[in-house]
Structure 1
């Protein structure tokens, strides 16, 4: 069953610049979908179209439909989208630095009136992120970059979303931490049944956990399909996965990366 459906969505900034050009994406209930592409491809803009966060940046969905749970969310305010089950973890590990991890989690529970339930959700989050549990009395500003990213994800999960939008969770992290965070994302998806739409430049890490992937170039979807098939595509390998190291490019006089989907 489809949970989120973008149908031919276009996004324009300042009513002049067309950033997303007819994008169609499906995220199934409980699915894990990766949205890949280079800087400026329109990945983050697509997430903001879903969460409703385009307006502060003078952007708007100028064409197409976005349906969540079978209902159109055009014109629905961001806060109401959260109440319906959409939560967005923005790029950049945005946490309340003067608060502890426990206080950060508590700040996201205004929709919950049952204190026992809030306590249960906090404990569940600390179970998913043991390193946060060990630092729950520290100020968030003193956490490592990886711990702050975990806290940002954990705080979003306190709303009990049906869909979590993750924007570059691996940004600025060591390979070890990237592996740890992506393993947690996969665990949350499987154990809690939360659907994930993951925007990521680390294509290797994203394709390792995703079920389906979409590749954006210049605001358009140029390739989509099962993650394993996308990962095995030779052009994707060369452009996003480090290339074919069996080829000696030093021996090639004129080598130019091919992107056959743009031909």
Structure 2
């Protein structure tokens, strides 16, 4: 197994428990979806893997994280990147004043072979023709979809074994969402990497994932094959919009949903 989380607990400011007992696995290849509403603990789970909790005063207080059998729970973020873990943060976070090529080069400071780096830049540009067309533009002037392509391309520059994507569809028009998810599926298939995909757009995520986990209030409340989750009536009602009647989310009792899932 590429990545395993076993009963991971994350606490912020030594007071607020954001993740409680999360366990999940990501295989060497393929896409795993982590679904849930805002504040469910999805992003915190990714940050526990990439090691980015400390700047937000977060800490893994229980459980273990293993990457290819190695305990990475206490490793610094840079060492995790060297092992092959890369985290594409929510909101894309490209360097707006740099060109696409300069953004890609910024992710390769650990590589000394400049010829290999240049070859990798060419590979990314071939994968994303629109970035190649905008090669001389400042990244801040790229469209949202182009910036997301750049963020994914920058992740590929590190030569990862595991790519974690946090809300890649955020703020994108529906036709761009389809394009970005097709790109993610292509990257997983062509590069042979494991992908851990955090998404609120459950329908799009489950369409390309092999397996999914549903997290609520910091706990995994359901997991299974992607198709089984798509067919589940609770998932359809509350995440895919497939209920028989329109749902008034403001009036939904959260505990009733969890009670059904856990029964």
TM-score by length of 2: 0.94
Structure 1 residue ranges without an equivalent (≥5): none
Q: Distance in 1 between matches of 2:41 and 2:245?
A: 33
Q: Distance in 2 between matches of 1:152 and 1:108?
A: 10
Q: Which residue of 2 aligns with 1:74?
A: 73
Q: Which residue of 1 aligns with 2:92?
A: 93
Following superposition, the deviation at residue 248 of structure 1 comes to 4.6
Q: Deviations over 1:179-207 (max 9, x none)?
A: 10110111010111111000000001000
Q: Which residue of 2 aligns with 1:9?
A: 8
Q: Distance in 1 between matches of 2:60 and 2:245?
A: 45
TM-score by length of 1: 0.94
Following superposition, the deviation at residue 48 of structure 1 comes to 0.2
Following superposition, the deviation at residue 31 of structure 1 comes to 2.3
Q: Which residue of 1 aligns with 2:223?
A: 224
Q: Which residue of 1 aligns with 2:177?
A: 178
SS at 2:2's partner residue?
strand
Q: Distance in 2 between matches of 1:56 and 1:113?
A: 28
Q: Which residue of 1 aligns with 2:27?
A: 28
Number of equivalent positions? 256
Q: Deviations over 1:33-78 (max 9, x none)?
A: 0000000100000000000000000000000000001100021000
Q: Deviations over 1:103-161 (max 9, x none)?
A: 11011111222222111111111122111111011110110111111111111110000
Q: Which residue of 2 aligns with 1:43?
A: 42
Q: Distance in 1 between matches of 2:147 and 2:164?
A: 17
Q: Which residue of 2 aligns with 1:210?
A: 209
Q: Distance in 2 between matches of 1:22 and 1:179?
A: 33
Following superposition, the deviation at residue 249 of structure 1 comes to 5.5
Q: Distance in 2 between matches of 1:236 and 1:47?
A: 22
Q: 1:78-157 to 2 correspondence within 5 Å?
A: 78-157=77-156
Q: Which residue of 2 aligns with 1:261?
A: 261
SS at 2:40's partner residue?
coil
Q: Distance in 1 between matches of 2:252 and 2:33?
A: 27
Q: Deviations over 1:163-192 (max 9, x none)?
A: 011000000001111110110111010111
Following superposition, the deviation at residue 243 of structure 1 comes to 2.1
CA distance change for structure 1 residues 233 and 97 in 2, over 3 Å: closer, same or farther? same
